[in-house]
Amino acid sequence: MNLNQVLEEARLKAKEVKTSHELAELKASYLGKKSILNELMATMKNLSIEEKKTLGQQVNACKGELEEIFLLRRQEMEALEVEKRLASEAIDVTLPGKQVARGTHHPLTLVQQEIEDIFISMGYSIEEGPEVELDLYNFEMLNLPKGHPAREMQDTFYFDEVTLLRTHTSPVQVRTLLKDKGAPVKIICPGKVYRRDDDDATHSHQFMQIEGLVVDENITMADLKGTLLEISKKMFGEDRKIRLRPSFFPFVEPGLEVDVSCFACGGAGCPMCKHTGWIEILGAGMVHPNVLEMAGYDHHKFKGFAFGMGIERIALLRYGIDDIRHFYTNDIRFLKQF
Ligand code: PHE
């Protein structure tokens, strides 16, 4: 084999090596102790001085070229390594980010917020009260003394003689009147309430109400009616009418139940309104003089109206849900729809 062939072969082999280890082995096979070139040199002892000289020069030149071939290949491999690493570390800033699963608002929260917004736009402020309440505020000061038969309208969870889970948001009426000590009041109070009901499609031992209370001089039932009509329109559509039916709650006089004309059929009658054309949405009335007096308001000077509505009922109607228990069983498939 002549030296040119050696170089040619070395070039081809260098191209094929994949790792620096392979390259080092290849280099050793050409330039190491047992290399072809050294074998060639070993034959030199039989040659003439002249021949030795030329062959020696040729072999040295060839060694130089081989060094060059392997060096270039090493640099080439290193450059490729860098390229590969850069490619693997590259970040495409235009790619979309990872999707984070986001929760949704609970339908009851949505309805609560919507109702709050309507009242805030009408100048009401929002009050809150405790869910663990005194009998005093939940019943007594709402004109429901101990032993009053109307207490049984609301089956109560008692902790002891004086403490209970509030059965309605009306105790916040009393708390607000006591706090505001004779000044005009215009509030709503959303919150959870509890009753000893057996849970079924239309009953839950825990539910939500929004209480409303307005107390000032010269408040009349016309104010109550105007307010209820206004919120019914905002909640259920501009064409809504309302109907007030006499009813009884001990803390109001007169007491009313309020119906809104059915927003599904417009009043003609359909399954939603049980073919009556009307849907009951809340209880209301003019604040009873006893309630005003017990809280320190002069009932000759001050008059007021109050109302209480169930948030679940409105959410059931609004979203066409057929079972109140859906609100509390927290099935993600249900909750995700809102
Ligand atoms: N608190 C009453 C209930 O829960 C509703 C109501 C509130 C009625 C205010 C009249 C006035 O049934």
Q: Whose CA is nearest to atom 6 of ligand 1?
A: 308
**Average pLDDT over all residues of the chain:** 92
Q: What is the pLDDT of residue 325?
A: 94
Distance 337 CA to ligand 1 centre (A): 31
Position 245 in a domain: yes
**Whether 169 contacts 249, CB under 8 Å:** no
Q: What is the pLDDT of residue 23?
A: 92
Q: What is the pLDDT of residue 167?
A: 96
Structure letter (DSSP) for residue 277? S
206-217/302-310 β-pairing: antiparallel
Q: What is the CATH number of the domain that holds 210?
A: 3.30.930.10
Distance 111 CA to ligand 1 centre (A): 19
Q: Whose CA is nearest to atom 9 of ligand 1?
A: 307
Of 127, 141, 168, which is best to mutate to test ligand 1, by the most ligand atoms within 8 angstroms of its C-beta? 168
**pLDDT tens digits, 248-298:** 999 999 999 999 999 889 889 998 889 999 999 999 999 999 999 999 999
Same domain (yes/no): 169, 279: yes
Distance 306 CA to ligand 1 centre (A): 8
User: pLDDT exceeding 90 applies to what percent of the chain?
Assistant: 72
Range of the domain at 286: 107-335
Same domain (yes/no): 141, 179: yes
Same domain (yes/no): 79, 117: no
* Residue whose C-alpha is closest to residue 287's, from 182, 188, 215: 215
Same domain (yes/no): 165, 286: yes
Same domain (yes/no): 117, 78: no
**Whether 234 contacts 111, CB under 8 Å:** no
Distance (Å) of CA 304 to CA 120, 190, 337? 18, 19, 40
Cα–Cα distance between 303 and 300 in angstroms, integer? 8
Cα–Cα distance between 37 and 139 in angstroms, integer? 111
Around ligand 1, the residues with Cβ closer than 6 Å are 168, 170, 249, 252, 283-285, 306-308
Q: Is the alpha carbon torsion for 244, 245, 249, 254 positive or negative?
A: positive
What is the token pair recorded at 3?
């030296």
Position 101 in a domain: no
**Whether 188 contacts 116, CB under 8 Å:** yes
Position 329 in a domain: yes
Q: Which atom of ligand 1 is nearest to the CA of 283?
A: 8
Position 97 in a domain: no
Q: What is the pLDDT of residue 4?
A: 87
Same domain (yes/no): 82, 195: no
Amino acid at 218: N
Distance 127 CA to ligand 1 centre (A): 16
Q: What is the pLDDT of residue 1?
A: 61
Radius of gyration (Cα) for the chain, nearest Å? 45
302-310/278-287 β-pairing: antiparallel
Cα–Cα distance between 267 and 262 in angstroms, integer? 5
Same domain (yes/no): 14, 80: yes
Give one DSSP letter per residue of 179-204, joined into a string. Answer: HHTTS-EEEEEEEEEE--PPP-SS--
For residue 254, cis peptide bond before it (omega within 30 degrees of 0)? yes
Same domain (yes/no): 260, 223: yes
* Residue whose C-alpha is closest to residue 231's, from 185, 302, 277, 284: 284
Q: What is the pLDDT of residue 258?
A: 95
How many structural domains are present in the chain? 2
Strand runs (DSSP E) across 87-229, as ranges? 125-126, 132-134, 163-165, 185-194, 206-217
Distance 292 CA to ligand 1 centre (A): 16
**pLDDT tens digits, 146-204:** 988 878 777 999 999 999 999 999 999 999 999 998 899 999 999 999 999 899 988 89
What is the token pair recorded at 223?
């104010």
Q: Whose CA is nearest to atom 10 of ligand 1?
A: 284
Position 99 in a domain: no
Q: What is the pLDDT of residue 150?
A: 79
Same domain (yes/no): 276, 235: yes
Position 111 in a domain: yes
Q: Which atom of ligand 1 is nearest to the CA of 212?
A: 9
**pLDDT tens digits, 28-50:** 988 888 887 788 778 777 888 88
Distance 287 CA to ligand 1 centre (A): 11
**pLDDT tens digits, 122-150:** 999 999 999 999 999 999 999 999 988 87
Cα–Cα distance between 201 and 221 in angstroms, integer? 34
Distance 131 CA to ligand 1 centre (A): 16
pLDDT class of 53 with cuts at 50, 70, 90:
confident
Q: Give kind and range of the element (H or E) at residue 299.
A: none
Q: Whose CA is nearest to atom 5 of ligand 1?
A: 308
pLDDT class of 318 with cuts at 50, 70, 90:
confident
Judged against a pLDDT cut of 70, whether residue 209 lies above it is answered with: yes
Q: What is the pLDDT of residue 271?
A: 86
Cα–Cα distance between 25 and 286 in angstroms, integer? 102
Position 98 in a domain: no
Distance (Å) of CA 263 to CA 107, 203, 272, 313? 19, 23, 9, 14
Q: What is the pLDDT of residue 52?
A: 85
Same domain (yes/no): 14, 160: no
Maximal C-alpha separation, the chain: 141
User: pLDDT exceeding 70 applies to what percent of the chain?
Assistant: 100
Of 137, 164, 170, which is best to mutate to test ligand 1, by the most ligand atoms within 8 angstroms of its C-beta? 170
Distance 143 CA to ligand 1 centre (A): 12
Cα–Cα distance between 302 and 218 in angstroms, integer? 7
Same domain (yes/no): 54, 12: yes
Position 95 in a domain: no
